Structure 1
Amino acid sequence: MDLKEIQNLIKFVANSGVAEVKLEMDDVKITIRTTLEGNVTETTYVQQMPAQAAPQQVAAAPQMAPVAAVPEAPVVENSHYITIKSPIIGTFYRKPSPDKPMFVEVGKTISKGDVLCVIEAMKLFNEIESEISGKIVKILVDDMSPVEFDQPLFLVDPS
């Protein structure tokens, strides 16, 4: 099992709502745990098994808490706005750290390459940069909220 397959498995488990998944294959044992209370944290353990490993088996623990539905973004009357979407699953942060100012505010003019936010995924903080220039019209996600892949984050007026 390569790294890409493990990452896809982590994404699948995070989206499925199960609390824990254990996977044992020939020489690899993987345990993925998620806690669904507020912030999503993922713990992945990968262990090499001895040559006489157990056959492949998968066990899923019951869901710990219900997952709140992500509200749909409101319909915007001006269709010329560009939506900036999340490139990854993780936790959305509007500031680089608690004692620093917000990256962007509504009404701020941004340029291509400006950092708009940070998304934490598996304890890695990924800076999300603007691919367009324009003016921030609306911020669609609350600070410290979980976000999904391709979820709208910002509305930008490119004019």
Structure 2
Amino acid sequence: MDIKQIQELIRFVAKSGVNEVAIEQEDFKITIKTNQGPTVVHATVPAAAPVYATPVAAPAEEAPAAPASAPAAPAADTSKYITIKSPMIGTFYRSAAPEKPLFVNVGDEIKPGDVLCIIEAMKLFNEIEAEVSGRIVKILVDNASPVEYDQPLFLVEPI
């Protein structure tokens, strides 16, 4: 792994919300740990000193949305829908600015790569993109509301 690949891995871990990632290959071992603070990286390469990366905040680039099966609600059958969940902790916004149009509405068709919302985390605005094709059935979070990691944001009917 070169330094550029390590930096990309740090960015990925920072925006994914996981606390620790360890990768071991024949001649290389790297562990990345986060605790809601700076990201610390320890890498070991034979005949080389450990690499310590500088603290990294969640990047402003697009963060992937994580599709999963929707939990069944007692009042309606949602098992046929895909739930798009928050990939991070932050504040949920339905548009880029108050005067700008909403990214998506109920009934809109989406495809992979479409921006669904923005989540602000530590003064960085992260566009959340669709990873599935479908139709928005329900928006589960109010605009400008705080969201938790893995919190359901949208219900999508697959097309």
What TM-score, normalized to structure 1?
Answer: 0.55
| Residue in structure 2 matched with residue 154 of structure 1 by the alignment | 154
Q: Letter of the aligned partner of 1:145 in structure 2?
A: S
Give 5+ residue unaligned stretches, structure 1.
Answer: 12-72
| Residue in structure 2 matched with residue 134 of structure 1 by the alignment | 134
| Residue in structure 1 matched with residue 98 of structure 2 by the alignment | 98
Task: For residue 74 of structure 1, report the CA deviation from its aligned partner.
Answer: 7.8
| Residue in structure 1 matched with residue 18 of structure 2 by the alignment | none
Larger radius of gyration: 1
Q: Measure the CA separation in 1 of the matches of 2:107 and 2:146.
A: 24
CA contact (8 A) 2:115 2:128 kept: yes
The change in CA–CA distance for 1:74 and 1:10 in structure 2 (over 3 A counts) is: farther
Per-residue CA deviations over 1:101-137 (Å, capped at 9, x if unaligned) read 1000000001110000000000000000000000000
Task: For residue 9 of structure 1, report the CA deviation from its aligned partner.
Answer: 3.5
Q: Does 1:85 align with 2:112?
A: no
Give 5+ residue unaligned stretches, structure 2.
Answer: 1-13, 15-31, 39-70
Task: For residue 8 of structure 1, report the CA deviation from its aligned partner.
Answer: 1.4
In the TM superposition, 1:9-158 aligns within 5 A as: 9-10=36-37, 75=73, 76-158=76-158
What TM-score, normalized to structure 2?
Answer: 0.55
SS at match of 2:35: helix
SS at match of 1:92: strand
Q: Letter of the aligned partner of 2:147 in structure 1?
A: V
Task: For residue 10 of structure 1, report the CA deviation from its aligned partner.
Answer: 4.1
Q: Letter of the aligned partner of 2:97 in structure 1?
A: S
Query: After TM superposition, what 4+ stretches of structure 1 lie above 3 angstroms from structure 2?
Result: none
| % identical equivalent positions | 64
